[in-house]
């Protein structure tokens, strides 16, 4: 998402260059933030001065620990994590790098295999011809992991699927470093659940195929492993593979294994959330968490009926959800509710009829969207909403999905006023259903704020961007790229709002002139507002 700055409104240049130079021969000042574990901090301190003298780096050391959580036996769930001290909204419980991670098969040509950034121009590995990188720096940084993989792909003469590539990386690292790779790892790969015995027949057949292909791919020069150990790793990946996002956090581009994260149990109304920031997962609290309280995250999007969430959790993670929201069906009535007009509720038969119609239209809309027929998507949304809005409540999930899709596709097609109308309705509905600090709510509010800004509705747009910023600061933290974008948007809209209040006519004249020279672009093409499912779906 990109917010274009109206240069005509700037009274002074507030941009600060990251690299500053006062003339030829001036040494560049580059800030480097390094995350190190407590055990390695002392050894690193001895090298810090040498690095500063050699390269002129400004180095800041941030220590991360596991002092906020401990492993315990959660009743009815097995192992879990609980807080060892009281926590508040936005607190970071732990930071964890991946044990291993790979790019999705479908994204292999669009994403750097080292840093997982989406790039238009990537440099291909000259040996295996498969791995691609931003530049030589990324390639060198990834070489330690890719070296064995590179030779294996070249010998195999084709590229195995993402599950096999990830399993191979995990096993190569196990062979090289053992089950515990740092003093911050709370569990071993071997002790993670694989749920192979719970898999349906269809999944078992796919597992057998993957094992067969893995054995063909596995180099003869590497340590041999039996079928049971390979089956275990593939099973762990199947139910614990975490979605790796791009640098923006908006699109899933790969899958990784994070052992500590696997210990965090599910709740449909969780007290924590997980985001990927600079290649590492951060577990962050959504609100007050008492000492001794179990740490939970949501594996699936809350904007589903309780029965649908339970089905998804059973199919993917092999457990029956017994959380309070599933047990009591909390908010299910709102998610399927009919509209109330002047105190009179729309008849149930009419609500049922429009609900069934909406489900059919959602399927058609999604197919048109996948095919890239965006004008057809808009036509379907308008037709469906014409029947939905007089009958369904503003919290009905099928209507919310139509509003969401309509607003983002209309924004892409630059019908900003109509998009803003739907975006505001969507956010109003979300606010009645989602946790107040839910990341999906924050992302949707951000998108709605930008849509209003694009439509010239600066007051509402600024308010939504400020609301989104308050949520994203908790869910993503101040260093995440999305938070930084939001801060820039907040400052921009605040400046414009002041000018709007001073002289509305002049503001619109200057804005129109500026936008003719600087076309606004929210994103390359319509995408959902962030990643709503924590772990990768099968």
In whole angstroms, what is the distance from residue 322 CA to residue 489 CA?
Answer: 41
95: left (phi over 0), alpha (psi -120 to 50) or beta: beta
pLDDT digits (tens, 9 = 90+) for 298-356: 999 999 999 999 999 999 999 999 999 999 999 999 999 999 998 999 999 999 999 99
In whole angstroms, what is the distance from residue 358 CA to residue 340 CA?
Answer: 19
Cα separations in angstroms, 204 against 196, 197, 200? 8, 9, 6
Give residues with Cβ within 8 angstroms of 157, minimum separation 6: none
Burial call 206-231: b when 16+ CB within 10 Å, e when fewer: ebeebbebbeebbeeeeeebeeeebb
Extended beta strands in 110-228, E state: 123-124, 132-133
CB 32 within 8 A of CB 59: yes
Tell me phi and psi for residue 87, to 5 degrees.
Answer: -125, 155
The answer, yes or no, to whether residue 485 has pLDDT greater than 60, is yes
Burial call 39-71: b when 16+ CB within 10 Å, e when fewer: eeeeeeeeeeeeeeeeeebebeeeebebebbee
pLDDT of 528 reads 52
In whole angstroms, what is the distance from residue 487 CA to residue 495 CA?
Answer: 12
pLDDT digits (tens, 9 = 90+) for 247-283: 777 788 999 999 999 999 999 999 999 998 888 999 9
pLDDT digits (tens, 9 = 90+) for 121-173: 999 999 999 999 999 999 999 999 999 999 999 999 999 999 999 999 999 99
In whole angstroms, what is the distance from residue 333 CA to residue 294 CA?
Answer: 28
Cα separations in angstroms, 537 against 112, 400, 423, 436, 534? 22, 22, 27, 25, 9
In whole angstroms, what is the distance from residue 130 CA to residue 395 CA?
Answer: 46
Q: State the burial class of residue 161 (Cβ atoms within 10 Å of its Cβ: 0-12, 13-18, 19+).
A: middle
In whole angstroms, what is the distance from residue 379 CA to residue 410 CA?
Answer: 11
User: What band does 513 get if pLDDT is binned at 50, 70 and 90?
Assistant: confident
- Of the candidates 311, 304, 297, 271, the residue with the CA atom closest to the CA atom of residue 77: 297
What does the mean pLDDT of the chain come to?
86
User: What band does 227 get if pLDDT is binned at 50, 70 and 90?
Assistant: very high
In whole angstroms, what is the distance from residue 435 CA to residue 270 CA?
Answer: 9
- The DSSP 8-state label assigned to residue 434 in this structure reads S
- Of the candidates 294, 317, 329, the residue with the CA atom closest to the CA atom of residue 75: 294
pTM of the model: 0.83
Q: How far is CA 333 from the centre of its chain?
A: 28
């Amino acid at each position: 998402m990109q917010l274009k700055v109206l240069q005509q409104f700037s009274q002074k240049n507030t941009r600060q260059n990251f690299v500053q130079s006062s003339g030829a021969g001036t040494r560049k000042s580059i800030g480097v933030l390094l995350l190190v574990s407590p055990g390695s901090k002392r050894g690193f301190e001895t090298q810090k001065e040498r690095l500063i003298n050699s390269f002129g780096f400004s180095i800041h050391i941030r220590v991360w620990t596991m002092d906020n959580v401990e492993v315990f036996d959660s009743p009815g769930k097995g192992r879990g994590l609980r807080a060892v001290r009281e926590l508040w909204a936005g607190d970071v419980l732990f930071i964890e790098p991946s044990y291993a991670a790979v790019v999705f098969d479908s994204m292999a040509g669009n994403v750097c295999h080292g840093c997982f950034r989406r790039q238009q121009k990537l440099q291909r590995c000259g040996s295996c011809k498969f791995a691609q990188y931003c530049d030589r720096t990324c390639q060198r940084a990834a070489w330690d992991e890719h070296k064995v993989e590179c030779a294996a792909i070249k010998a195999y003469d084709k590229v195995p699927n993402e599950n096999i590539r990830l399993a191979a990386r995990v096993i190569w690292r196990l062979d090289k470093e053992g089950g515990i790779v740092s003093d911050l790892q709370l569990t071993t790969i071997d002790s993670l659940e694989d749920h192979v015995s719970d898999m349906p027949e269809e999944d078992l057949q796919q597992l057998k195929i993957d094992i067969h292909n893995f054995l063909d791919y596995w180099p003869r020069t590497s340590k041999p492993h039996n079928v049971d150990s390979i089956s275990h790793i593939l099973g762990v990946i199947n139910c614990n593979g975490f979605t790796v996002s791009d640098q923006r956090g908006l699109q899933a581009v790969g899958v990784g294994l994070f052992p500590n994260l696997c210990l965090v149990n599910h709740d449909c109304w969780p007290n924590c959330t997980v985001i990927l920031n600079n290649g590492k997962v951060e577990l962050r609290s959504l609100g007050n968490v008492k000492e001794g309280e179990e740490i939970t995250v949501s594996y699936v999007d809350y904007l589903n009926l309780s029965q649908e969430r339970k089905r998804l959790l059973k199919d993917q993670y092999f457990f029956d959800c017994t959380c309070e929201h599933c047990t009591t069906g909390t908010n299910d009535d709102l998610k399927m509710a009919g509209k109330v007009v002047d105190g009179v509720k729309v008849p149930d038969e009419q609500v049922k009829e429009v609900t069934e119609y909406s489900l059919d239209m959602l399927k058609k809309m999604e197919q048109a969207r996948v095919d890239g027929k965006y004008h057809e998507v808009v036509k379907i949304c308008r037709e469906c909403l014409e029947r939905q809005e007089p009958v369904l409540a503003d919290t009905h999930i099928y209507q919310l999905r139509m509003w969401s899709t309509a607003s983002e596709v209309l924004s892409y097609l630059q019908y900003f006023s109509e998009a803003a109308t739907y975006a505001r309705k969507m956010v109003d509905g979300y606010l009645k259903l989602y946790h107040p600090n839910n990341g999906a709510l924050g992302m949707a509010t951000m998108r709605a704020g930008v849509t209003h800004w694009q439509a010239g509705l600066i007051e509402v747009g600024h308010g939504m961007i400020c609301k989104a910023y308050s949520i994203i600061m908790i869910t993503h933290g101040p260093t995440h790229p999305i938070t930084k974008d939001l801060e820039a948007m907040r400052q921009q809209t605040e400046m414009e709002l002041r000018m709007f209040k001073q002289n509305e006519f002049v503001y619109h004249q200057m804005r129109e002139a500026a936008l003719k020279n600087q076309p606004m672009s929210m994103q390359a093409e319509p995408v959902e507002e962030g990643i709503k499912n924590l772990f990768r779906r099968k």
